[in-house]
Chains A and B, each alone.
Chain A
Amino acid sequence: MINGVRERILSALKSYSNQPALLDGDVVISYATLELHIKTILKSPLFDDSNKNFPIAIVMEPSCEIALVCIACVVANKTYVPISPQNPSDRIDAILKDLNASDIVCDKNNYSSLEKLEGSSSCWLFELSEDQVFLTCKRKGNREFSELSYFREVQYVLYSSGTTGVPKGIAVTYDNVTSFLDWILDKIDVAPGDRFSGHTEMSFDLSVFDLFVPLTTGGCYCPLSEAADRVFPAEFIRNRRINTWLSVPTVLDLIIKTRQVEISDAFGSLKQILFCGDILNLKSVQTWFQFQKVPVLNLYGPTEATVAVSSFRCHPSDDLSRYESLPIGHRSEPNFLLREFVGGEQKDKLYSLFLKGPQIAKGYWNKSDLSSEKFLSLHGERAYDTGDLVKSDNQGHVFFCGRSDFQIKKEGYRIELSEIDYVVGLIEGVTSSCSIFSLGQIVTFVASANHNLEEKIVMDHCKMKLPHYMLPARVNFLETLPVNVNGKVDRKALMKLAEKTA
């Protein structure tokens, strides 16, 4: 693309040199300083071989530092792979192996734990100190990276829960991101100098919005690096004079539960407040409008379609009571492909939602079979099978109704329940296991002949392999798992059992 995300950043570096680009606590980095930092980073031997692309894994806390590394990768046309340091080391190791990453960049907080990981990747330490940046090779690896054919187009790979027990990497191209930027800029009110919140970790794709919308339009990225800011977003928004906020919907519930929503002058700087990554509760939006006049955007889209592909805008004056739930978009969305869903027991006509268009990702990293299964050709167009079931009203609004598989969303995180079962199945003495999502909690049922197996053993094992948001809230032991007439695990029976034992 002629005016892609990289060119837009380079143009912003020149056009807005005196404006702040990154703001974190007392650290303010202007576009001019950002340009200098990028030049310094790109002089590092990590970026030496410009003819060879390779994935750069980044394990860093949310901060200006990680933003600098990601931006440098984009300017250098490299592929970066942010991995949350919150992951247990076993999972980070599994991701690095799947990725076959030759290099890992980390910060001071994560360097020591990464150094302990076995592996042959080179380890780089990134530091931002006053007005200088340092990227130092701390361990030289010897991993030979074999380049994939499509690799050069890929901007980032984000890892998500996988059905086979191993996280899967979603490869998103530079063109995908440019198309997303074009799409979203048509939906929101943005001007140079605007400040954007950075609520999510870089390993979550909402950060693509947080970072690249401001940095391609002369705005400023403001990460929430303090835990207190996450508990009290109202104060962060007021202090930082944030103009656009994006987070998962659970944050709106947090703002309401803690009565921050009632603080009249806290949200005055906002032009819009955006939510994505999970179901946005209609009642929460109505409560928001009781106290605040800032429009709300409900965004919809999986990581495989580059952040979001559809939206529903709510204004304070809208009569939202006519909806049962908030729409995720409209049937006329050019990215939507609805196919009638056969099966299920719901009274409404349900559709499987497929997505198409220029935001559809390249595929899953190094997993061609899975890529062919989920990215397919429909009516001659490349489409992605979201697994989401939707319905439509007579005005064409589209509503999310559930899943056609066992994927769930918790706090905005995508979780394949079968990944938990795979991990539990590795424990000695476990015959089979089945995890379900009941009353907002993951409950794992374990069938085992080993009567000494306790909840603590299962939990300790899971903690080593799974991130905290995937841990079961409860583990129930059964002699055998109930099965239905088809011989499959009877999830409905387990749901009833979970509710009874809650």
Chain B
Amino acid sequence: MSKESLENLILLAKTCMRIQEDIDMESKIGDFPQWNSLSHVEFILEIEKVYSLRISPLEIHKLTSIREIWLFLEKQKAS
């Protein structure tokens, strides 16, 4: 996935969870008060919509940081 795509993912996270602070690859659920379990799920559902894919419940369990989500999207793109 390109740098631009990573920036888009970060932008999506910031918009979806109304995070004004800087976030990066290492940012994860719980790092900001706004990024809690409920807003995280809304973020995951938004990813499904934007990237036109369906994430299984078991996969959702593992996707708790920008890095994990980005790697997951990379894998999806390759398959």
Chain A residues at the B interface, C-beta cutoff of 8 Å: 86, 227-228, 230-232, 234-235, 250-251, 254, 257-260, 262-263, 411, 456, 459, 467-468, 471, 473
Nearest CB on A from B48, distance (A): 10
| Cα A451 to Cα B57 with chains together (Å) | 48
- By a CB distance below 8 angstroms, the chain A residues around B18 are 473
**Contact (A231, B57) CB under 8 Å given A250-B38, A258-B41, A473-B18:** no
Whether A227 contacts B64 by the Cβ 8 Å rule is yes
Q: Which 3 A-B pairs have the closest CB atoms?
A: A468-B33, A230-B37, A232-B61
Is the contact region of chain A dominated by helix, strand, or loop, or is it mixed? Answer: helix
Give residues 9-67 of B contacting A (CB, 8 Å). 18, 20, 28-30, 33-34, 36-38, 40-41, 44-45, 56-58, 60-62, 64
Whether B61 contacts A257 by the Cβ 8 Å rule is no
- By a CB distance below 8 angstroms, the chain B residues around A227 are 28-30, 37, 64
| Cα A467 to Cα B32 with chains together (Å) | 12
Whether A235 contacts B37 by the Cβ 8 Å rule is no
Beyond A232-B57, A232-B61, A471-B34, 4 extra complex contacts between A and B, CB < 8 Å: A231-B60, A258-B45, A258-B57, A468-B33
Q: Using a Cβ cutoff of 8 Å, how many contacts connect chains A and B?
A: 52
- By a CB distance below 8 angstroms, the chain A residues around B64 are 227-228, 231
Contact of B60 among A232, A251, A456, A468 (CB under 8 A): A232
**Contact (A234, B57) CB under 8 Å given A254-B37, A258-B41:** yes
Contact of A230 among B33, B36, B57, B62 (CB under 8 A): B36
| Cα A468 to Cα B41 with chains together (Å) | 17
Whether A228 contacts B61 by the Cβ 8 Å rule is yes
- By a CB distance below 8 angstroms, the chain B residues around A86 are 33
**Contact (A459, B20) CB under 8 Å given A250-B38, A257-B45:** yes
Nearest CB on A from B66, distance (A): 14
- By a CB distance below 8 angstroms, the chain B residues around A263 are 57-58
| Cα A227 to Cα B28 with chains together (Å) | 9
Chain A residue with the shortest CB-CB distance to B61: A232
- By a CB distance below 8 angstroms, the chain B residues around A250 are 38
Whether A231 contacts B41 by the Cβ 8 Å rule is yes
- By a CB distance below 8 angstroms, the chain B residues around A232 are 57, 60-61
Most buried by A among B30, B37, B40, B45: B37
- By a CB distance below 8 angstroms, the chain A residues around B20 are 456, 459
Whether A260 contacts B57 by the Cβ 8 Å rule is yes
- By a CB distance below 8 angstroms, the chain B residues around A468 are 33-34, 36
| Cα A232 to Cα B37 with chains together (Å) | 9
Chain B residue with the shortest CB-CB distance to A263: B57
| Cα A210 to Cα B58 with chains together (Å) | 26
29 A-B residue pairs with Cβ-Cβ distance under 8 Å, sorted by A, are A86-B33, A227-B30, A227-B37, A227-B64, A228-B61, A228-B62, A228-B64, A231-B29, A231-B41, A231-B60, A231-B61, A254-B41, A257-B41, A257-B45, A258-B41, A258-B44, A258-B45, A258-B57, A259-B56, A259-B57, A260-B57, A260-B60, A262-B57, A263-B57, A263-B58, A411-B38, A456-B20, A468-B33, A468-B34
